[in-house]
């Protein structure tokens, strides 16, 4: 087994898996290491959505939304069994911050940015069908829009990307602990452990893809001239053990540019921004 690589990826979430896959596909000898399990960190604590970010339309971040929607389409094409379209329902209330006209315009822009060949365009749900949306509060309800987003099992998706990276030549080690790295003339000397066994690898570059733990990993890399500054972003998701509804919803958040998704997940419900 080789101990010399072009790239060492630290962190086996969806970001690290994607980096390893892209590197291997482009002919780089690649090593990826993960401490617990593939997709067991930040990746599994998400809203399970692959979308363009409807809030980006309100913020006028059209290019960002367009890029994400194109990525969504690509994933739906190459991984139809893992990334599947699903209908979401967006209610508009008289007591809310958004009007039916503004919300409809927002969704129309979202459709246009998604382009042809993606998901169907949004619809207005007839009032006679509202009662079929179990769990929806109909008090002061003005209109309900339906539109499609992509839904995925993030851990399963990560595992499939890792399999693809390995198929194209990457070495994937899990579970192993990243002990640290030290600069050499040609790159880095990386040390990892699994139980009592310690292994050493040499690589030209290191990709730190550990998310919320990135600062902990960075300080273990000796010889860096300047530590990159990182900003922690906090996001909370609540998982209920009861299924609140068989439908998926987007609800208005506390801010005008924020939506909260409510979706069945396994035998419960996942709620989050």
Residue range 144-188, pLDDT digits in tens = 999 999 989 999 999 999 999 999 999 999 999 999 999 988 899
- The whole-chain average pLDDT of the chain stands at 90
Which token pair is 110?
A: 């979202």
Residue 256 has pLDDT above 90, yes or no: no
Residue 223 has pLDDT above 80, yes or no: no
Length of the chain: 273
Encode pLDDT of 11-21 as tens digits: 999 999 999 99
User: 249 and 136 in contact (C-beta within 8 Å)?
Assistant: yes
Which residues make Cβ contacts (< 8 Å) with residue 23, sequence separation at least 6?
6, 7, 9, 30, 165, 170
Burial degree of 257 (CB within 10 A; 0-12, 13-18, 19+): middle
**pTM, 2 dp:** 0.84
Encode pLDDT of 27-77 as tens digits: 999 999 999 999 988 888 888 888 888 889 988 999 999 999 999 998 888
Which token pair is 242?
A: 């009861």
Work out the percent of the chain whose per-residue pLDDT is above 70. Answer: 95
Residue 5 CA to residue 27 CA, distance in Å, equals 11
Residue 255 has pLDDT above 90, yes or no: no
User: 263 and 48 in contact (C-beta within 8 Å)?
Assistant: yes
Across residues 258-269, what is the average pLDDT? 89
| Ranges 39-48, 96-105, 231-240, 248-257: which has the least confidence | 231-240
Q: What is the predicted pLDDT for the residue at 228?
A: 62
Residue 110 has pLDDT above 80, yes or no: yes
**How many alpha carbons fall within 13 Å on the CB side of residue 163?**
6
């Amino acid at each position: 087994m080789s101990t010399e690589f072009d790239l060492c990826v630290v962190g086996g979430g969806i970001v690290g898996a994607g980096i390893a896959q892209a590197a291997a596909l482009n002919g780089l000898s690649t090593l990826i290491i993960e401490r617990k399990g593939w997709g067991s960190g930040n990746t599994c604590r998400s809203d399970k959505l692959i979308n363009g970010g409807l809030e980006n339309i309100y913020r006028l971040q059209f290019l960002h939304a367009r890029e994400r929607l194109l990525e969504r389409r690509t994933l739906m094409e190459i991984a139809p069994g893992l990334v599947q379209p699903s209908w979401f329902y967006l209610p508009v209330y008289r007591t809310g911050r958004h009007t039916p006209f503004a919300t409809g315009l927002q969704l129309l822009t979202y459709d246009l940015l998604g382009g042809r060949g993606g998901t169907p365009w949004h619809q207005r749900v007839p009032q006679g069908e509202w009662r079929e949306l179990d769990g929806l509060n109909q008090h002061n309800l003005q209109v309900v829009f339906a539109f499609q987003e992509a839904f995925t099992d993030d851990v399963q998706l990560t595992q499939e990307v890792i399999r693809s990276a390995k198929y194209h030549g990457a070495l994937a080690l899990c579970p192993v602990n990243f002990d640290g790295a030290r600069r050499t003339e040609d790159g880095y000397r990386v040390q990892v452990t699994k139980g009592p066994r310690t292994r050493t690898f040499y690589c030209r570059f290191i990709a730190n893809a550990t998310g919320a733990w990135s600062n902990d990993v960075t300080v273990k890399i000796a010889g860096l001239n300047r530590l990159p500054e990182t900003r922690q972003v906090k996001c909370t998701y609540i998982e209920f053990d009861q299924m609140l509804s068989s439908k998926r919803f987007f609800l208005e958040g506390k801010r005008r540019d924020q939506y909260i998704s409510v979706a069945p997940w396994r035998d419960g419900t996942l709620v989050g921004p």
